[in-house]
Amino acid sequence: MSDLLNKVAPVSLLPVNADKATLIEFGKLYLSKCDHEKAIPFYERAVEIAYAEKDFEVYLESLNSLLHMYADREEEDKINQTKERLQDLVLKDGFALTSKTFYTLGVCADFKKQHDVALEYFQKALALGLSKNSKKDMCYAITGIAITYSKLEKYSEALQEVYNLKVFFEVFPLPELKLSTQILNGIILRNLGRYEEALEALWGCYDILKTEKSHYYYIHLLYVLGTTYQRAKDMELARVYLTLARKSVDSNNLKKLSRDIDERLAELGVQPDTDFDLVFDPIDKSITEKKRGKVDFKNQFILLELLHLLMKAPGLVYSKESIVKTIWDQEYSPAIHDNKIYVTIKRLRKMIEPDYEKPKYIFRAKNGYYFNKNIKVRFQH
């Protein structure tokens, strides 16, 4: 399936009659990579198909995944539209008032910071889950209640709900929910100033991540570890884990988390990436452009090497001869290399320039190219 994922990027390339299970499978693969931009269209089409087929369980589960991605990308309009649509379905179309329905309404309210309303919805979801003896519904409802209590700073009540969930997880495995609950447990203990207990809970998450392998939760865990060490006054470890989180986060798909990480790093005296036009990460083989976000160069070694050459000496003109010798280890020949250099620079500009027609990074000189000396760049180590 991973090979197919590399071949089929946009949802538009799937067959028009692709079923919802296939769409969700592709969506989950992109979601696991934190590529919300590509995951969202798959889930949105799955939602439409599920609704048309009256498969309300899949409809609501897919809708919940969408809501979390909308929230991560701070797309409040889409959250509002989802909530209004769901409310209309309940009021006008007689949509089933199941535990999942109330849970989804609670998620909408939570993302809109209507925590009292969210708590009421989650409690209704729990009551219906209990009436149907649905352990899965009960677990999700209790998770919602615990998160809401935590946001309302009712930490004792939140911890009690977390402990209730631990009992469920012993007999009813939900690995992803267990992982998010354990991270929540660490956050609550951190907020209570019980740092050793918080770190013990958070480090326990790594055992779950060994099997779950979720990039999304890995980044969140790094961030919570960093903030916990920060509050415990271990600034060195705080910088380590927050820096790792910053290197791992995609600021386009995890906007709020990215901003939170930068704010914590700024408190620790680490200049955030947002202060730079370009951030070059040689280990990850990527750059982060201020407007375009993260740009992956993993399969573009020549382009990455050329960009690094130009970036490390802004304002210095590299002749065609020196570019050919450094990048291709060849002797310059106009007939062979002029077009090759032109095409390579063109491809590089298309990858990094916010406006290809008005380049701001790479300029042409009389016999070569140079990087704009007024650009703020940072090299990660």
Contact 122, 148 (CB under 8 A): yes
Residue 380 phi, psi (nearest 5): -80, 150
Query: Domain spanning 173-275 has what CATH number?
Result: 1.25.40
Per-position pLDDT tens, the chain of length 381: 434 444 444 555 565 568 899 999 999 989 888 889 999 999 999 999 998 888 888 999 999 999 999 999 989 899 989 888 888 877 766 667 889 999 999 999 999 899 999 999 999 999 999 999 999 999 999 999 999 999 999 999 999 999 999 999 888 888 889 999 999 999 999 999 999 999 999 999 988 888 877 888 999 999 999 999 999 999 999 999 998 998 888 888 898 898 899 889 888 887 665 668 888 888 888 888 888 888 888 888 999 999 999 998 999 999 999 999 999 999 999 999 999 999 999 999 999 998 888 899 999 998 899 999 988 888 875
- Mapping DSSP onto H, E and C, the string for 62-96 reads HHHHHHHHHHHCCCHHHHHHHHHHHHHHHHHCCCC
Residues 237, 218: Cα–Cα separation, whole Å: 17
Contact 85, 48 (CB under 8 A): no
- Backbone dihedral region for residue 94 (phi beyond 0: left; psi -120 to 50: alpha; all else: beta): left
* Alpha-carbon radius of gyration of the chain: 24
Residues 16, 251: Cα–Cα separation, whole Å: 31
CA angle 263, 267, 270 (to 5 degrees): 85
The number of beta carbons lying within 10 Å of the beta carbon of residue 123 is 17
Residues 353, 213: Cα–Cα separation, whole Å: 33
CA 8, 12, 15, 18: dihedral to nearest 10 degrees? 90
Residues 222, 354: Cα–Cα separation, whole Å: 30
Q: Where are the beta strands (DSSP E) in the chain?
A: 278-281, 286-289, 293-296, 318-319, 362-365, 368-371, 377-379
How is the chain split into domains, by residue range?
173-275, 301-379
Question: DSSP letter at 355?
Answer: S
**CB neighbour list of residue 243: distance below 8 Å, 6 or more residues apart:** 265, 270
Contact 352, 292 (CB under 8 A): yes
293: helix, coil or strand? Answer: strand
CATH number for the 301-379 domain, one of 3.40.50.300, 3.30.9.10, 3.30.2350.10, 1.10.10.10? 1.10.10.10
Residue 109 confidence (pLDDT): 92
181: helix, coil or strand? Answer: helix
Contact 240, 256 (CB under 8 A): no
Q: Is the dihedral of CA 50, 51, 52, 53 positive or negative?
A: positive
The string of pLDDT tens digits covering residues 159-218 is: 999 999 999 988 888 888 999 999 999 999 999 999 999 999 999 998 888 887 788 899
Is the whole-model pTM more than 0.75?
no
Encoded amino acid at 134, one letter: S
